[in-house]
């Protein structure tokens, strides 16, 4: 068993809004959603405050105490985090702090996974199985969204955040875990597993450097840090997103690769 981790801020002058933790046989990766340009979120806390609480609570719940499934662990973590600022902040604000989530947990028999929003899990077995929540991709592919620009586009996307027909993140409502992609795989069928934020999935989805199998192979063989370095080179070669359209020039990038066989 070997676990490789890399997390790199998109901009060295800004705090990394990704969170990653490994405890025993649990991995939790979060990508805190960057606040809107006007900074109005209804919350007095910043994104690192939010992801640290949510992530730490998710790790604790998944790794200790009575065993409950990963969705229950995440729901409890969302509730605990909400309780920490319900008195000071407007948690009903659509831009209340929120995060995308990828979780892994394993034992001798099973490898469990959970994905919410555009984080990802890759299960590395005889074939590589990407575990993806495509609701945000589906929203971005809608005709009305594709036709919109500027402020209209931003308002349209904001209106689809955590509402039916839109896309979902871990914010202040624990019921969101019903939207997560969850499952388990016999451990004997998996020799590795990766948990990634979208700063790393862009290796496939924005830059087309390879498919999910290729990304999994690179993470396992060259290591998470080398893959993020490669992503930074693609970003630097296309700083304005002309050749490879993407939301941000650089994004916080986090990868964990669990090698069950070594």
Q: Rank residues 45 and 191 by Cβ distance to Zn ion and give the closer one.
A: 45
Q: How far is the CB of 55 from Zn ion (least distance, A)?
A: 16
**Per-residue buried b or exposed e for 39-62, using 16+ beta carbons within 10 Å of the residue's own CB:** eebebebebebbbbbbbbbbbbbb
Q: Rank residues 46 and 259 by Cβ distance to Zn ion and give the closer one.
A: 46
Q: How far is the CB of 161 from Zn ion (least distance, A)?
A: 17
Q: How far is the CB of 40 from Zn ion (least distance, A)?
A: 13
Q: How far is the CB of 176 from Zn ion (least distance, A)?
A: 17
Residues that bind Zn ion (CB under 5 A): 43, 45, 85, 89
Cβ contact 25:248 at 8 Å: no
Q: Rank residues 33 and 43 by Cβ distance to Zn ion and give the closer one.
A: 43
Q: Rank residues 75 and 89 by Cβ distance to Zn ion and give the closer one.
A: 89
What are 66-72's contacts with CB under 8 Å, separation 24+?
69/112, 69/182, 70/103, 70/105, 70/112, 70/113, 70/114, 70/180, 70/182, 71/114, 71/177, 71/178, 71/180, 71/182, 72/177
Q: Rank residues 89 and 195 by Cβ distance to Zn ion and give the closer one.
A: 89
Q: Cβ-count burial of 64 within 10 angstroms (0-12 exposed, 13-18 middle, 19+ buried)?
A: exposed
Q: How far is the CB of 172 from Zn ion (least distance, A)?
A: 9
């Amino acid at each position: 068993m070997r676990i490789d981790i890399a997390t790199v801020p998109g901009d060295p002058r800004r705090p990394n809004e990704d969170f990653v933790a490994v405890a025993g046989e649990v991995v939790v990766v979060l990508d805190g959603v960057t606040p809107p340009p006007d900074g109005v979120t209804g919350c007095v806390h910043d994104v690192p405050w939010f992801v640290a609480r949510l992530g730490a609570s998710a790790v604790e719940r998944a790794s200790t105490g009575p065993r409950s499934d990963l969705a229950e662990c995440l729901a409890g973590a969302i509730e605990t985090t909400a309780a920490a600022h319900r008195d000071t902040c407007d948690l009903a604000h659509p831009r209340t702090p929120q995060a995308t989530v990828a979780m892994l947990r394993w034992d001798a028999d099973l490898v469990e996974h959970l994905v919410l929003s555009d984080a990802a899990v890759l299960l590395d077995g005889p074939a590589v199985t990407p575990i993806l929540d495509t609701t945000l991709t589906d929203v971005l592919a809608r005709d009305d969204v594709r036709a919109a620009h500027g402020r209209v586009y931003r308002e349209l996307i904001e209106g689809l955040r955590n509402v039916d027909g839109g896309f979902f993140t871990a914010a202040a409502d624990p019921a969101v875990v019903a939207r997560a992609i969850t499952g388990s795989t016999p451990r004997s069928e998996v020799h590795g597993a990766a948990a990634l934020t979208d700063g790393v999935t862009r290796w496939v989805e924005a830059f087309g450097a390879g498919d999910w199998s290729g990304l999994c192979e690179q993470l396992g063989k060259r290591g998470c840090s080398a893959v993020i370095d490669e992503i930074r080179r693609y970003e630097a070669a296309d700083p304005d997103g002309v050749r490879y359209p993407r939301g941000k020039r650089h994004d916080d990038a986090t990868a964990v690769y669990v090698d069950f066989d070594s």
